[in-house]
Amino acid sequence: MKARALSVSGAWEFEPEVFPDHRGLFVSPFQHEAFAEAVGAPLFTVAQASASVSRRGVARGVHYARTAPGCAKYVTCSRGRVLDIVVDLRVGSPTFGTWDSVELAGDDFRAVYLPPGLGHAFIALDDHSTVHYLLSRAYEPADELAVSIVDPDLALPVPADAVLSERDRTAPGLVLARDNGLLPVHAA
C-alpha cells in the first residue's frame, strides 16, 4: 500500500494495490501495518461506520466535530467518484485554513485519513457516488458543525451550481467560525 502525506498536517492518502484477474479483482483498502507505519499510530477504535450516496453535483461539508476529542475518519468511495477535501480547521495549527483534495473512486480504492480537528467535504463527480466512513466516535448531531464549503477565504474547488443542504448553505465562513470560538484548537 502506498501512503502519501497531504498538505494538511496529519492527513494521509492511502492507495492499495489492486489484484485483477479474469474473475474480477481483490483489494485490501485498509491495511493496519501500512497505516500505523505512515501515521505513527494504529487506526482509532471504530465507533461507527457510515455511508452516504450522492448524485452528481452534490457538495457535502465542510463538516467537523466540535467537542474534544473530535472525530477521526477513514474515508473511501465504493461507487462513482468524489473529490474528497480535507481542511485544517484547528486554530493555531501551522496549516490552519489549508486544504488538500484527493479523487476517490469505486474503481481505484484510495482512502483518506483525517485526524480529529480537520474538516471534511466532498463533491460527487458521478451519480450514485457512495462514500463510506469509519468514525472514531458515534455521530452526535449537537456536536457536528460545518464551515461553508463555498467560503471565498477557503476557495475550495466547488462548482457554482453545486447542490447543497440547507445546513451547508448557511454555515459560517472560516473566519466567522474562528472568531466565534466554534473551531477546534490545535493541540501542541
7 three-class SS: coil
Catalytic residue among 63, 64, 74, 120: 63
Sequential DSSP letters for 49-91: EEEEEE-TTBEEEEEEE-STT---EEEEEEESEEEEEEEE--B
- Angle, CA of 170, 60 and 103, to the nearest 5°: 145
64 flagged as catalytic: no
User: Do the bridges between strand 111-114 and strand 48-54 make them parallel or antiparallel, or are there none, so unpaired?
Assistant: unpaired
Q: What are the cell numbers at 113?
A: 485519513
Catalytic residue among 64, 74, 113, 133: 133
Q: Which of 6, 10, 143, 120 is nearest to 69 (CA)?
A: 143
133 flagged as catalytic: yes
User: Do the bridges between strand 18-21 and strand 24-27 make them parallel or antiparallel, or are there none, so unpaired?
Assistant: antiparallel
- Angle, CA of 52, 56 and 57, to the nearest 5°: 100
d(CA 107, CA 99): 24
Q: Which residues are catalytic?
A: 63, 133
